[in-house]
Amino acid sequence: MTAPVRRAGVFAALCTLAFAVPLGGPVLGAALAAVVVLGAVAVTDGPLFDLLAYPGDYEAGRLYGLITFVLAAATLGVIAVVESMPIAIFVGTVLLVGYGNLADRLGRIWTDSDVLLVAAFCSGATLAAVVGQAGTRAIADGTVEGLEAALPTMIFLAASGALLAALLRDVLFVQDDPVVMLAVGLLGWLLAELEPALSLTGLEILAALVVTVLLGYASYALETASIAGMLTGILLGLLTIVLGGYGWFIVLISFFAIGGLSSKYRYEEKEELGVAEDNDGARGSGNVLGNAAVAIAAVLGYAASSASLLPTDLEPTLFLFAFAGAVATAMSDTLSSEIGSVFDEPRLITTLERVEPGTDGGVTWQGEVAGIVGATVVAAISYALFPAVSTVGAAIIVAAGIVGMTVDSLLGATLEGSVLGNQGVNFLATLSGALCCALLVLSLALLG
């Protein structure tokens, strides 16, 4: 057994001590955490130090990796005791990180495939998180009755946390597990507050996982997404299906599919012009989040409104149109840039002067047409899937997509590079499309 596997095994065993909180209360949990931290401070060399030390700990001569890991878990525990975070989320999160790492380390004995290692981490983390939540609920209730009814929610929370943890591990470092733990815990807390909006059965949750994982892997296999981009897409897809529905997911996946394929359009020419996406067009997590963050916020708003966590006069339908407006913008902007960039003589949107291909804020008429077609596709899908989207509503979605695409070009010509990065521009553009769509619908409703 390798040193990293042994260390991960010890860390996982220590994570199991999180059950001390539901078993003996926060005082016992705090006492155990204090003992572990004091022990980590006292051990500065020897076999035990070698067992628990991360590579960076040797230079400092302290087990800072273990200390920060325990402090992160203790912070989540304090939040769970003082605030409304369920104890089950705290225990499930700690076990998720610990046993997910162990599964990853065990997987490295047999394979070096990035996809298989991510699958090993997510599988081990999800299972551990479900066991943590179920065990905590059983301890609190004194019985295992009722766990079956809660299983779909536990699976959803565990899988969402595992995907976020895998994503953060891909873009950070293994030593950043404390950051991963805190982020996963906060996500679990947020999603737990939306539990009244969750109505899917266990089989439906599993089906959603299978669908999103298969499509995510397809995007990776087709080289339209990196590992981080694949994980981000799977997580966002899962949240969209569970909190919105398959109709919402179809709208979102239409952007990922069409937008991803458009990056391959005349790729060699784009490379020669210097306007091609990096990594052979495979989109990373930053690109996915920049284009989809507003849409996912709309999904969360819809779920919160449906669960009566927002003011009752805030219609859930507004979040649907905000979602469609954001996706229409993302689709319009992506098609406009990916298709329009291969045509000569783009003009700067602010002055209409001719600029070099790839210049921020440069537009072509071919790209503008492609963008309008992209917004129309999103509007047509929304019209077909949602009864709330009438013909007028579909026209509003198209208009919102065009507005968002134009805002993206204007920001590119004025602020990109000096104030904003590409992902920041994408975020603000999709936000403008979402707000435009929701406000136009609200205005029509008030006038009617």
Q: Are strands 347-348 and 362-363 parallel, antiparallel or unpaired?
A: antiparallel
CA distance 59 to 6: 21
Please check whether residue 164 is in contact with residue 183, taking contact to mean a CB–CB distance below 8 angstroms.
yes
Q: What is the pLDDT of residue 267?
A: 62
45, two tokens: 């060399």
Q: What parts of the chain have a pLDDT lower than 70?
A: 1, 173-175, 196-199, 264-285, 307-314, 343-344, 358, 448
pTM here? Answer: 0.86
Residue 194: exposed, middle, or buried by beta-carbon count in 10 A (0-12, 13-18, 19+)?
Answer: buried
Q: What is the pLDDT of residue 199?
A: 66
Q: What is the pLDDT of residue 374?
A: 93
The DSSP code for 84 is S
Q: What is the pLDDT of residue 376?
A: 96
Amino acid, single-letter form, for residue 348: L
Q: What is the pLDDT of residue 3?
A: 79
Please check whether residue 397 is in contact with residue 382, taking contact to mean a CB–CB distance below 8 angstroms.
yes
CA distance 180 to 115: 19
377, two tokens: 């596709």
3-class secondary-structure state, position 371: helix
Please check whether residue 93 is in contact with residue 161, taking contact to mean a CB–CB distance below 8 angstroms.
yes
